[in-house]
């Protein structure tokens, strides 16, 4: 039913989030609390600290979104909580709170796979056409693709589509063929792409998480000044590998002494290499799924403008739009969890209260 309302909970990494969503896609309330500051002095997410922070903040966020939505628990059709993959302590906090509310109010519980939640975000009614990125000017011709907001892409993205999940913890390419129907086309052989940004940024003396700072620094640099490798570029398939690029950054830094300009050049070279590899991998993925209707990006790295431009170009060359949901729905959030929960509830897919959170849970 389109008026069914679901509460979603997210606590798999370092974002604590709750959201109330109606089955027609209307977001009734959402709240996200980033723990970035708590982890920054350790240079990365500390699982124990993350779990304790979720425990401290999640109940309050839940009360807050329910209050803002003007709802009581009795108005809900179900509770959806991320139950994997992710850091086990945080997963237990979110799933257990979700089950507690479900028991107390006699509601169905849905254990949501975090990757599925990212994958289905693009089907959330209302996020298009704003999410369709303008196509690069050189791709515009007689058969020009629509620019953002021109309405021709109104309505959700249709199956099958391609998802590139580019975050600090994940780096994979998935063919999304329907709800519950996912085919992983490629994954990273070593680090996640966000991790590569963070590690390279650290080598350049930037604070964690380094992606945004590295992007800012790169604007001052010459991407051609320091030649860096482009791992797997031109190879078949759409797997990823970033450790060689990170090592090359370490070697360039070690050759020092580095001026400010030198650092900016390395940042620009690194970012250009990542963008080129991602565009190449995306092109291979598009060729692997002939019926694909769109290339969708998610994850924190999707915020990067050079990455977006490269992916928009790759998609446009194959006649596809690049769909980039608003950043707050690209990074970890509870709206996507509630939406995945709604899609599962529609199909009668609920979980037992004994469902155990899974640190590893491939799609
Ligand atoms: O999806 P996300 O917020 O959290 C998870 O990892 O689950 O992604 C965070 C990652 C970090 O590695 C961060 O450095 C990277 O996304 N990131 C960026 C940018 N903004 C965030 N990387 C490159 N450029 C950016 N503008
Ligand atoms: Zn995520």
Residues 104-125 pLDDT 10s? 999 999 999 999 999 999 999 8
pLDDT band at 155 (very low <50, low <70, confident <90, very high): low
pLDDT the model gives residue 153: 45
CA separation for the pair 48, 93 (Å, rounded): 12
**pLDDT tens, 135-144?**
443 333 333 3
Nearest ligand to the C-alpha atom of residue 302:
1
Read off the pLDDT of residues 212-269 as tens digits, 9 standing for 90 and up: 999 999 999 999 999 999 999 999 999 999 999 999 999 999 997 889 999 999 999 9
For the CA of 192, the nearest atom of ligand 1: 12
* ipTM for the whole complex: 0.98
| Per-residue model confidence (pLDDT) at position 5 | 98
| Binding-site entries | 114, 118, 165-169, 198, 211, 215, 304, 332
Q: What is the mean pLDDT of residues 34-60?
A: 95
For residue 331, the CA-to-ligand 1 centroid distance in Å is: 8
Ligand 1 centroid to Cα of residue 308, in Å, is 13
Distance separating alpha carbons of residues 144 and 150, to the nearest angstrom: 12
Ligand 1 pocket mutation, candidates 300, 303, 330, 336, criterion most atoms within 8 A of CB: 300
Cα-based angle 52, 55, 339 (whole degrees, multiple of 5) = 125
Considering the domain 5-120+330-346 in this protein, what is its CATH number?
Answer: 3.30.420.40
Q: What's the 166 CA to ligand 1 centre distance in angstroms? A: 8
Whether 50 shows a pLDDT value over 50: the answer reads yes
| CATH 3.30.420.40 boundaries in the chain | 5-120+330-346, 132-324
Neighbouring CB atoms inside 10 A of 350's CB total: 18
pTM: 0.92
SS3 content of the chain, % helix, strand, coil (to 5): 45, 20, 40
Per residue in 194-217, pLDDT (tens digit) is: 999 999 999 999 999 999 999 999
Please report the pLDDT score of residue 133 as a whole number: 60
Flag whether pLDDT at 283 surpasses 50: yes
Contact 110, 350 (CB under 8 A): yes
**Which residue among 301, 307, 332 is best mutated to probe the pocket of ligand 1, counting the most ligand atoms within 8 A of its Cβ?**
301
Q: What is the 140 CA–ligand 1 centroid distance (Å)?
A: 30
Please state the atom number of ligand 1 nearest to the C-alpha of residue 330. Answer: 1
Q: The domain 132-324: what is its CATH number?
A: 3.30.420.40
Q: Look at residue 147 and tell me whether its pLDDT is greater than 80.
A: no
């Amino acid at each position: 039913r389109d008026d069914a309302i679901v509460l979603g909970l997210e606590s798999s990494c370092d974002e604590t989030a709750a959201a109330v969503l109606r089955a027609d896609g209307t977001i009734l309330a959402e709240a996200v609390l980033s723990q970035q500051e708590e982890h920054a002095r350790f240079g990365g997410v500390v699982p124990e600290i993350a779990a304790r922070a979720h425990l401290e903040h999640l109940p309050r966020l839940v009360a807050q979104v329910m209050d803002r939505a003007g709802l009581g628990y009795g108005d809900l059709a179900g509770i959806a909580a991320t139950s994997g993959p992710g850091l086990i302590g945080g997963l237990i906090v979110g799933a257990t709170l979700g089950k507690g509310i479900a028991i107390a109010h006699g509601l169905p519980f849905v254990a949501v796979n975090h990757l599925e939640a990212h994958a289905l975000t693009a089907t959330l009614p209302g996020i298009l056409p704003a999410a369709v990125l303008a196509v690069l000017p050189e791709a515009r011709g007689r058969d020009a693709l629509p620019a953002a907001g021109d309405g021709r892409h109104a309505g959700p993205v249709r199956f099958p589509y391609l998802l590139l999940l580019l975050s600090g913890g994940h780096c994979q390419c998935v063919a999304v063929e329907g709800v519950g129907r996912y085919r992983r086309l490629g994954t990273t052989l070593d680090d996640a792409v966000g991790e590569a940004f963070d590690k390279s940024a650290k080598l350049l003396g930037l604070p964690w998480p380094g992606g945004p700072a590295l992007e800012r620094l790169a604007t001052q640099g010459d991407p051609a000044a320091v030649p860096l490798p482009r791992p797997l570029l031109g190879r078949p398939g759409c797997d990823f590998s970033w450790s060689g690029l990170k090592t090359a950054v370490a070697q360039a830094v070690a050759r020092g002494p580095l001026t400010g300009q030198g650092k900016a050049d390395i940042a620009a070279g690194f970012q250009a290499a990542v963008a080129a590899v991602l565009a190449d991998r995306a092109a291979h993925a598009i060729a692997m799924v002939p019926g694909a209707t769109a290339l969708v990006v998610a994850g924190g790295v999707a915020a990067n403008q050079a990455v977006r431009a490269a992916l928009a170009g790759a998609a446009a060359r194959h006649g596809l739009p690049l769909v980039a949901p608003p950043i707050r729905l690209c990074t970890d959030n509870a709206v996507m969890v509630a939406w995945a929960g709604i899609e599962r509830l529609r199909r009668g897919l609920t979980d037992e209260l004994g469902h155990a959170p899974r640190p590893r849970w491939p799609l």
